[in-house]
Structure 1
C-alpha cells in the first residue's frame, strides 16, 4: 500500500519590489550562513558543559557506583534527541525551519539551572531529557538550514563548517568547565556558562536568523539528472513512511550512512560517559581529564573544516569507511594504554577519525535525498545516529559492569571496525567532483 505523501514544500512567495532574489551558494548567503555557524557553536556549547563534569558529578556527589546507572543520563539524552531529530525534520518541512530552531532554544533554557539545583540524580536525568529535545530541534535545524542555503556543489564544506563549529564549542566548553570544576567545584560554576549560551542562542535565533525553506524549493526546481538512473525511485512525492524506510533500510547509501552514524555516536557515548571515569581511576586530576575530554572533540571539530571540503573533491564513501576504521584503532589504543600521553594521542586519533565521518555522512544524505523530503531524511538519519548515544550508553554500561571499562572499550572498537566494513561493501559513491547534484531530476 502506498503511503500518502506528506505536504510538499509550500510555494515560494513572490518577492516584493526591490527584494533580493533567492540564490543558492555559500558566498551568496555568507551572512546568514555565518550567523547559523555561530548559533550552532552555542548549541555545541550546551552539550559541552556536561562532557567533563557530569560523569564525575554522578560518581562523587550522587554516589553512583554501577556504570549502567551512571550512564543513564546519556541513555535518556540519546533517546530524547534521536526521537526529536525525526520530529524536527518533519516540522521543518511543514512549518518552517526558524520556528523549530527557536522552540529548541526555549527548551534549553532550564537545563543549566536544573543541573545547578538538582537535589537528586533524577533531576539530572530530567535535565538531560530536555537537553536531548533541545539538541534535536536546534542542531537538526541548523544542519537543514545550511544545506538549504549552499546548494549541492559545496555541501561537504558546509557540513564541515557546521559540525566544526558545534564540536569545536563542545571541546572548548569541556576544557573550560574542567578548569572551573577544578577551581570552584563541580557545581555551580561550570554550568553558569550554559546559562549564557542559552540566552545568547535564543536571542540570535529569534531576532537575527531568517527562514531558509524557500531555498530548498528553489533547489528542487533545478535538478540535473543522475546519469546512471540509480535514484529513479526516489521521486519528489515520497510519504513519511517511505522516507523512513528508504533512509533506514532500502536505499544503500542512505541506510549505510544511518548505520555508520549510529555506531559513530555509540562510541561517542562511550567517550562521554566512561572515559572520564577510566581516566579518574588512573589517578588523573579533573583538569587533566578535562584536557582529554576536550582534545577529542577539538580535533574532531577543527578537522571537519578540512574533511568536509575534501569529501567534495574526493567523494564520500571511502572517507567514511576510513574514518570508522581510524576510530576503531584509536579506541583499541585507549583500551591498552595507561598514561596521559598515550591517551592524548588516542583521543586526537579518535577525533580525526570522527572528523572524516561526521560531515561526510550528512553530505551523503544531502546528495541522495530530494529537497522536497530532504529535511525528513536528515531527521531519520539523525534519529539513528543519535540513537547511538542510547545504544552506546546501555551497551557500554552493561559490559563495563560485567567485565570492566576496558572490555567495554574493546567491544565498541570492534563494532566500529565492523561498521566501516558495511560502508565499504554496501555504500556507493554519492558525489563525484564536477557533478552538481547526486539526485535525479524530479518526475513530471
Structure 2
C-alpha cells in the first residue's frame, strides 16, 4: 500500500509538471535556491560549534566533559532518527512539506539557547535542532539529487555540502568573534534567529517540490526494485549490499570524529590557554575547508570514482586528528584542522554519491535516509566515547582513540567496497553483491 501511495504521489507530481527535465543547467534556479536554503540550515549548527560547549563550562560551570557533550548526544540521536523517517516522509508527503516542517521545528532553538536557565534547556534545544536538521538537510540534498539526475550526483552533493558546511564554519567564526566581544550569549545567538526566519520564509514561499523529477528518472526502474519495502531498504543499506554497508559504516565514523571535535576541541584548546576568538578560528577552519573543497571533490568523484576518495579521505582525517593531539602548538592545531577539513571534503560528497549510485530512484530517498541515520548516529557515539575517555584519560587520549577508529574505517572501505560503474550507471539497478558475495536482487 505504501509503495502504491508513493507511486501515485510521484505520478501526480509529474502531471503537475509535464515538461520536467533533469540536469543542473535545466534546474539551476531551484538548485541555487536550495543551496542558499542549505546555507541557512548549516548556519543553525554553526551557532553551536564554538559557543555551546563553552556555555557548559563557563556559564553553567559543568566539570564533567561527558555531561557537557550530552547536548551533542541529544542532537545526534534525534537527528539520526529524523533522517531515518525523512526518506519515507519525503516519498509519502512530498519533499517540500518535510523541508518546511523541519524549519518550523527549528525556529525556537536560538531563543531557547538565549534564555536557558540550566543545561537541561540546552539539551532540549538540541533535540529540536536534531529533528530540524534531520528534515531540512536531508531534503536539501535529496532534492538536489532529484533535480540533476544520475550524471551529476557528485557535483550536486558537493555543491550542497559546500553551502551547508561553509556556513557552519563561517558562523562558528562569526559567533566566536561576537562572543569574545559581547559574551557567550545572547548576541552570538541573534545570528541563529536570522537564519531560522529567512530559511523558513524561503522554503515556504519559493522552494518547489521535486517529485516530478523523481518520477521522470525512475520510469525505467523495474517493478521489483520499485516495490522494495522500508524494511528491505534498511537491510540492504545497512548490511546486505557491500557498497551500502561500506558507506554506512564510513559515514558513522566520519561523524563520530566530527561529534568528538565539536564537543572536545573547544574544551581541549581552552585547557591549553587559548582564548575564545582563537578557538573560533580553529573551529571555523575545519568546516570552511570541508565545505569549500567539496565543490572540487564532488565532481572529482564523478570522474575518478568514489572509493579512492573515501579511503584516502578517512586516512587524511586520521592524520589531522593525530596532529591535533600531538602538535602542542597553535600552528600544528591549525594544520590539523586543515587536514581534517580536507579529508572530510574528500569523504562527504563521495559517500552520499556512492549511496545514490547503489540505489534506485524509487527507493533512493529511503536508502539515503538509512545511510544518514547511521552517519548521524556517529555524532552521539563520538560525543559519548570522547567524553568518557577524556574524563578518565584526558583530551589527547580521546582524540587519538577517534583517530584510530577513523583509520580503521578507511581500511574497511578499501577491503569491502567495489567501485560503481561510471556516472549514472546505478549499481542498484542491476543488483549488487552482499557481504556474503551473493547477488542482491
What TM-score range do you get, normalising by the shorter chain?
Answer: over 0.9
Q: For residues 335-350 of structure 1, what are the structure 2 equivalents within 5 Å?
A: 335-350=325-340
Quote the residue 1:226 is aligned against: none
What are the superposed Cα offsets for residues 271-305 of structure 1, whole Å, 9 maximum, x if unpaired? 10001111111111100000000000000000100
Q: For residues 364-443 of structure 1, what are the structure 2 equivalents within 5 Å?
A: 364-432=354-422, 436-440=425-429
With normalisation by structure 1, the TM-score equals 0.94
Quote the residue 2:141 is aligned against: 143
What are the superposed Cα offsets for residues 306-326 of structure 1, whole Å, 9 maximum, x if unpaired? 000000000001110110011
Matched, 1:262 2:252: yes
SS of aligned partner of 1:440? helix
Distance 1:338 1:15 in 2: 58
Q: For residues 83-98 of structure 1, what are the structure 2 equivalents within 5 Å?
A: 83-98=81-96
Distance 2:168 2:67 in 1: 24
How far 1:20 sits from its partner (Å)? 6.4
CA distance 1:197–1:148, change in 2 (3 Å):
same
How far 1:338 sits from its partner (Å)? 1.5
Deviates more, 1:333-342 or 1:32-41: 333-342
CA distance 1:233–1:214, change in 2 (3 Å):
closer
Distance 2:315 2:12 in 1: 47
CA contact (8 A) 2:357 2:425 kept: no
What are the superposed Cα offsets for residues 379-413 of structure 1, whole Å, 9 maximum, x if unpaired? 10000000000000110011111100100001000
Distance 1:266 1:14 in 2: 38
SS of aligned partner of 1:154? helix
Quote the residue 1:28 is aligned against: 26
CA contact (8 A) 2:360 2:428 kept: yes
How far 1:212 sits from its partner (Å)? 0.2
Equivalent of residue 132 in structure 1, options 130, 133, 138: 130
Distance 1:278 1:402 in 2: 14
CA distance 1:83–1:16, change in 2 (3 Å):
closer
SS of aligned partner of 2:207? coil
CA contact (8 A) 1:262 1:385 kept: yes
Equivalent of residue 37 in structure 1, options 16, 35, 38: 35
CA distance 1:293–1:378, change in 2 (3 Å):
same
Off by >2 Å, runs of 4+ in structure 1: 3-17, 435-439
Distance 2:303 2:45 in 1: 31
How far 1:237 sits from its partner (Å)? 1.2
Distance 1:159 1:40 in 2: 12
CA distance 1:421–1:7, change in 2 (3 Å):
farther
CA contact (8 A) 1:6 1:240 kept: no
CA contact (8 A) 1:40 1:162 kept: yes
Equivalent of residue 80 in structure 1, options 78, 81, 86: 78
CA contact (8 A) 2:359 2:429 kept: no
Gaps of 5+ in 1: 224-231
Distance 2:429 2:365 in 1: 17
Quote the residue 2:12 is aligned against: 13
Distance 1:241 1:249 in 2: 12
CA distance 1:233–1:361, change in 2 (3 Å):
farther
Distance 1:258 1:415 in 2: 14
Matched, 1:253 2:243: yes
How far 1:439 sits from its partner (Å)? 3.8
Distance 2:36 2:363 in 1: 26
Structure with more of its chain in helix, by fraction: 2
SS of aligned partner of 1:345? helix
Matched, 1:312 2:302: yes
Quote the residue 1:228 is aligned against: none
Q: How many residues align?
A: 430
CA distance 1:402–1:233, change in 2 (3 Å):
farther
CA contact (8 A) 2:313 2:345 kept: yes
Quote the residue 1:160 is aligned against: 158
Q: For residues 192-341 of structure 1, what are the structure 2 equivalents within 5 Å?
A: 192-222=190-220, 235-341=225-331
CA contact (8 A) 1:364 1:431 kept: no
Distance 2:412 2:426 in 1: 24
How far 1:217 sits from its partner (Å)? 1.1
How far 1:21 sits from its partner (Å)? 0.3
Distance 2:345 2:206 in 1: 29
CA contact (8 A) 2:14 2:216 kept: no
With normalisation by structure 2, the TM-score equals 0.94
CA contact (8 A) 1:6 1:238 kept: no
Quote the residue 2:438 is aligned against: none
CA distance 1:419–1:15, change in 2 (3 Å):
closer
Gaps of 5+ in 2: 432-441
